[in-house]
Structure 1
Amino acid sequence: METAEDRALDLARAIVDVLDEHKGEDILLLDLHGVCTFTDYFVLCSGASERTLRALADEVMRRLKRDRRLHPRGREGEPSSGWLLLDYGDVILHLLSDELRRYYRLEDVWRAGKVVLRVQ
């Protein structure tokens, strides 16, 4: 029987697949079990432009709605800001411009998390 943890990892991997298929850059899946109290996984992804960030967010939302009947619990940021966040509860997706990804270094902030996979 599939557990909630299995479902969360499956969702995170599905998000990674969509990002990879649609030219997301430097995709990182972090397991935050035991490190973070508000989510189980972070997916970090860079986009080369506002247009790319918007397209990635739109495609993730479209595919998860179509394939899993899931809607984000929350959406923060705008492509023009260089950072969009889609909150799916157990999985939070961060879409960042290259510049903001280097500036905020979320990989370092959450370095206690375990790298599940990285697609470069």
Structure 2
Amino acid sequence: MTMTSREVAKVAALAADDKKAADILLLDLTGLSDVCDYFLICTAQNNPQLDAIVDEVRQKVSANCGIKPLSSEGRGTASWVLIDYGSLVVHVFKPEARDYFRLERLWGEAPRVDLGLEGALSEPAAPGPVAG
């Protein structure tokens, strides 16, 4: 059975969530990019967590979807690891790298896919009154 790129993205998002990734965000790039259909973006607080998230995503996508990455970049001491599955590109950032590259702003016109995960980002919160 062949899974859609969106289904593969959800498997990857669940794997990241299992390792307590923060600010998990799935951007739908269909119609906006010729490179891929989805960006999965998440944050790891430190190198051990970053490695754990990357390992879990690779293992769960392989086991549940039967696919291996076309390439992976940034492993080691990097603050950003990219896992390329073709139609899905997974970005695991440390906080400072995510703040610097701001992919969600760069691709601000891309619809956000609701993942229904505890660590997932919902729509950006509108500024509201400050509670006092």
TM-score (norm 1): 0.91
For structure 2, which runs of at least 5 residues remain unmatched after alignment?
122-132
The amino acid of 2:43's aligned partner reads: S
Contact 1:51 1:79 in 2 (8 A): no
Report how far residue 70 of structure 1 moved. 1.1
What is aligned with 1:62? 59
The amino acid of 1:54's aligned partner reads: D
1:16-40 Cα shifts (integer Å, max 9, x gaps): 1111111011000000011111100
Contact 2:11 2:60 in 1 (8 A): no
* Pairing partner for 1:27 from 24, 29, 44: 24
What is aligned with 1:101? 98
RMSD: 1.7
What is aligned with 1:116? 113
Runs of 4+ off more than 3 Å: none
Q: Which whole-Å CA distance do the structure 2 matches of 1:107 and 1:79 have between them?
A: 24
Q: Which whole-Å CA distance do the structure 1 matches of 2:7 and 2:33 have between them?
A: 19
Contact 1:18 1:60 in 2 (8 A): yes
Q: Which whole-Å CA distance do the structure 1 matches of 2:62 and 2:74 have between them?
A: 20
| Shift in alpha-carbon separation, 1:53–1:79, aligned structure 2, 3 A | farther
1:63-117 Cα shifts (integer Å, max 9, x gaps): 1222222110010112411000000111100000001101111100111211112
SS in 2 for 1:58: helix
1:44-70 Cα shifts (integer Å, max 9, x gaps): 000000111111001111112222221
Q: Which whole-Å CA distance do the structure 2 matches of 1:60 and 1:40 have between them?
A: 18
What is aligned with 2:126? none
What is aligned with 2:127? none
Which one has a bigger Cα radius of gyration? 2
TM-score (norm 2): 0.83
- 2:31 is the alignment partner of 1:43: no
Aligned length: 117
For structure 1, which runs of at least 5 residues remain unmatched after alignment?
none
Higher strand proportion, which one? Answer: 1
* Pairing partner for 1:91 from 80, 88, 91: 88
